Amino acid sequence: MTVRLLAALALIAPLAACAGGPASGERYATELDALAADCRDRGGILSPTGGQTGDPARDNVCKINGQAARAG
């Protein structure tokens, strides 16, 4: 009986963690859109870093390819 209970809990626990999925996915998308807009306003393009931390600010970088400053 105890083994069945533990097995059931082991199967249910990961599903409980996914229960907040859509809300956190919406938060990520909202933050990503804000970062992309800020980057565009600065003349850049938002590019992925290759990381998948769940934090859009860490998972992306704003690349700005502008004119190099000239030494005077």
Instruction: Look up residue 64 and give its two tokens.
Output: 């700005």
Q: In this structure, is the dihedral angle defined by the CA atoms of residues 8, 11, 16 and 22, taken in order, positive or negative?
A: negative
What are 7-19's pLDDT values in tens digits? Answer: 666 666 665 555 4
What are 13-59's pLDDT values in tens digits? Answer: 665 555 445 568 899 999 999 999 999 999 999 999 999 999 999 99
Measured CA to CA, the distance from residue 62 to residue 57 in angstroms comes to 9
- pTM score of the predicted model: 0.58
Complete DSSP assignment for 8-43: HHHHHHHHHHHTTHHHHHHHHHHHHHHHHHHHHHTT
